[in-house]
Structure 1
Amino acid sequence: MTTLQQLLGIELPIIQAPMAGVQGSALAIAVSNAGGLGSLPCAMLGSDALLAELSTLAAQTSKPYNVNFFCHRSPLPDAVRDAAWRAALVPYYREFGIDAAAAPNAPARLPFSAEAAELLAEFRPPVVSFHFGLPAPELLARVKSWGAKVLASATTVEEAVWLEAHGADAIIAQGLEAGGHRGIFLSTDLSTQLGTFALLPQVVQAVRLPVIAAGGIADAKGVAAALALGAAGAQIGTAYLLCPEAGTSAVHRAALKSAAAHHTALTNLFSGRPARGIVNRVMRELGPISAAAPAFPLASAAIAPLRAHAESTGSGDFSPLWSGQNASGCNEIPAAALTRELVALLR
C-alpha cells in the first residue's frame, strides 16, 4: 500500500492544519522544510494576497506544500435573519458606543473558484485540500490536471465514502475535538459528529484511501496512537498556534496559555458555521450556537466591529479564539522543532 509520505512526497506523516486568520506562508514553509506538509489557508485571501503567498512559498521551500480552500455555497442575503442577528448584538454596540449601521456586509471567506484555480495553475502546488466537501467536478479536474493530490475533510463515515467516490486522494478524518471549523457537509446535524478515535477506525475500514487523523492530537503519543488505529498520518493544528511562525494574535496567544483553553465549544457566532473555539464572553452570554446567526460566512460582518473594539483593549471577548479540545501541546518553540517532536515515537 502507498504510504502518505509516498503519496504526498513528504518525509514525515505530519500535516500542519491550515488555520485561516492565524497563519500565512511562514508557518507552512517551516513545517514543509522540516519534512512535514505545511499548509496555507487560502479562503480569506484575495487574488493579490494569494499570489503573494504562493510566490513566497515557491521562493522559500522546494518541498511539497498544501493550499487549502473552502467549498461552501455562497448564501443569498436574508434581511430578516440579518436584522435578528444585529438586534442580538445591539446591546454590545451600545456598551461600546459603536454604530451598528456602520458594520460591513461583505463576507470574509470565499469558496474555491475558477479564478483561484487559474492562479494556482501558475504555481502547480503539489497538494490542494478542501473543507466542506469538494469543488465542482470541472474545478476538481483543473486542480488534478497538473498532478496535484487532493485532500478533503470528513466528519462522518458517510462523508468519507462520498469523498472517495468523488475524487479525493486521501481523507482527513476530523474528530469532534478539532479546533476551527467543522468540515461537515452532508448534513447540518451536529449529533452525527464523533470523536477522533471513534471516527478514525470506522473511516479506515470504510474506504481504501489513506486516512489522516485530525482532532485532539497534540504530541508524539497522540500521533503514535492515531497510526496504531490505522491512520496514515496526523493533521495537527492547535499545537502550532504558539510557534513564532504563526500569526496568532496576542489576545489569542494569551487565551491559549491560560486556564480558559480547557473549555472550548462549537460555536456559529463568528462565521455562521460551527467551529470550535475557547469559550469567551459572547459565547457564554448568547449561547455558543445561535439560530439568529446568518448563514456562513455572513455572520462575521456584524460581529467584526465588536471584535476590533475588544481586541484594542486586550480582550478576546468577541474574538474567534479557535482551539481544539487539547491545547496541551502548545509550546512557544519553532515549528520545525515541534514537527520533529511529533514523530519522536515513530520508528
Structure 2
Amino acid sequence: MSILEQLSIKHPILLAPMAGVSTPELAAEVSNSGAFGSLGLGASSIASARQQIEATRALTEQPFQLNFFCHETEALNPETAARWIKYLRPAFAEFGATPPESLQCIYPSFRDNNELLNLVLDTRPKAVSFHFGIPHPKQIQALKQAGIITMVSATNLAEAQAIEAAGIDIIIAQGIEAGGHRGIFNPAIDASIKTADLVQLIHKHCQRPIVAAGGIMNGQQARLMLKLGAEAVQLGTAFVQCRSSNANTAYRQALFNQPLTQITSSISGRPARGLINRWHMQIEQPHRPEVPGYPYTYDLAKQLHAVASAQGDQGYGAFWAGSNVAQIRELEATDLINQLVLEIKQGH
C-alpha cells in the first residue's frame, strides 16, 4: 500500500509538525488541500492538545497527524546547570533581569507519559509521529491495535533500521538541511547526512515507506526526493510564513530578511537549525560551557527571550528554519500546496 493510500491523502505532501508554530487552522488548510496536516503537540499540555485536536476536527473532515517528543529523559546535572545559568547572567542583565536559580523539565517525553498515549488513543488521529526516538513497544502495540499509523524521524541509517525493527509504519528521513530540531536519538551522535543521501541510504537498506524531510521548498526539490526513493515529502519552513501559522511578526519578517541559518544546541540543549541571531553570534562562543540536557536548557532560553522581547529585542527568539529558507515564497497554505503539486507534476 502506498503512503497516499495509507494516509488517505491526494498529494504526497506532509506539513511538518512544528511545535509552537502549528495551529488547527494551518493543519486544516493543508488537509483540506489534499495534503497531510499536522499538529506539533510536544510542548502542549494534555488540555491544550485536546483542544487543538478538537479545533482541527471542527475545521476539516480530512485526516491529519499528531506529533510528540520521544527523547530519553535525563536527570539535570546541577553543576552543569549552574555554570550555564552563570554564563547567561550577563545576557539577562542587559535587560535588567536575573536568570532563575534552577531549570525545569518543561517538555515531558511520550515514552514517560501514558497520559499522552491515552490522549492519542482517545482522539484516534489518522497518524501519530515521533521525534528524538521511538516509543516503548507496549505504546507502539497500543497504537497499532487502535489502527493508528505510526511515523518516526530518522537522521541516519541506524536510526531508520531501529525504527523498522520496532514495527513503525513510516520512516521520516530528516536530512541536515531541515529546520528546527534534529531528530537524532542520541545527541552525541549526529551523522549530519544530506536529505537526498539519507533517502537513498534508507531506500536501499529498509523496506518501510519513506517521507523525505529537510531543505524542501519547492516542487522541483520534492520531485528529486520522490525519484530517489521517497514516497512523500515533508515541508515545514515553507509554511511558517502562512497567516494561519502561529509565528510572530518578527519571525515572519526574519524568514524573508535574514535567511541565513545555523545549527546550535545553545537554545534548547539539542542541536536545532534556525535563523542566525544573538544565540549564534553572541552565546555560541568557543569558550561556551557545556549546555544542560534537553529540555532544561530550553527553559532558560525561553525565559531570556521573554525578558528581551518584552523590551522589543527579538534577538533571542527560537526562529527555526531550514537551510533553503532563502527560497521561501509568500503564499497561503492552499496556494502553496497547489503550487507544489503543479511543480511536482511539471517534471513528469
Taking structure 1 as the reference length, the TM-score comes to 0.94
Find the counterpart in structure 2 of residue 201 from structure 1: 200
CA distance in 1, matches of 2:93, 2:327: 39
Find the counterpart in structure 2 of residue 342 from structure 1: 340
**Partner amino acid for 1:6?**
E
Name which of 292, 297, 311 aligns with 2:295: 297
Find the counterpart in structure 1 of residue 321 from structure 2: 323
SS in 2 for 1:66: strand
CA change 1:187–1:76 in 2 (3 A) is closer
1:91 aligns with 2:90: yes
Preserved CA contact (<8 Å) 2:22 2:38:
no
Find the counterpart in structure 1 of residue 78 from structure 2: 79
SS in 1 for 2:176: coil
1:264 aligns with 2:261: yes
Q: After TM superposition, what 4+ stretches of structure 1 lie above 6 angstroms from structure 2?
A: none
Find the counterpart in structure 1 of residue 247 from structure 2: 248
Deviation at 1:104, TM superposition (A): 6.8
SS in 1 for 2:9: coil
Preserved CA contact (<8 Å) 1:251 1:311:
no
CA distance in 2, matches of 1:186, 1:315: 33
**Partner amino acid for 2:293?**
A
Structure 2 matches for 1:63-212, cutoff 5 A?
Answer: 63-101=62-100, 105-112=103-110, 113-186=113-186, 188-190=188-190, 192-212=191-211
CA distance in 2, matches of 1:93, 1:312: 12
Comparing 165-174 and 282-291, the one that deviates more: 282-291
SS in 2 for 1:107: coil
Comparing 175-184 and 286-295, the one that deviates more: 286-295
1:286 aligns with 2:280: no
CA change 1:44–1:77 in 2 (3 A) is same
Preserved CA contact (<8 Å) 2:15 2:27:
yes
Preserved CA contact (<8 Å) 1:175 1:196:
yes
Name which of 304, 324, 342 aligns with 1:306: 304
Percent identity, aligned pairs only, is 34
- CA root-mean-square deviation: 1.6
CA distance in 1, matches of 2:107, 2:40: 11
SS in 1 for 2:328: coil
SS in 2 for 1:216: coil
Comparing 43-52 and 278-287, the one that deviates more: 278-287
Deviation at 1:292, TM superposition (A): 2.3
SS in 2 for 1:100: coil
SS in 1 for 2:325: coil
CA distance in 1, matches of 2:118, 2:301: 33
CA distance in 2, matches of 1:313, 1:195: 39
Preserved CA contact (<8 Å) 1:175 1:195:
yes
SS in 2 for 1:212: strand
CA distance in 1, matches of 2:120, 2:273: 29
Find the counterpart in structure 2 of residue 223 from structure 1: 222
Taking structure 2 as the reference length, the TM-score comes to 0.94
Preserved CA contact (<8 Å) 2:26 2:245:
yes
Deviation at 1:37, TM superposition (A): 0.6
Deviations 1:306-345 (A, max 9, x none): 2012223443311111000011443332211111211213
Q: How many residues align?
A: 342
SS in 2 for 1:343: helix
Deviations 1:148-181 (A, max 9, x none): 1111100001111110010111111100000000
Q: Which runs of 5+ in 2 are unaligned?
A: none
Preserved CA contact (<8 Å) 2:92 2:307:
no
SS in 1 for 2:128: strand
Preserved CA contact (<8 Å) 1:243 1:331:
no
Find the counterpart in structure 2 of residue 55 from structure 1: 54
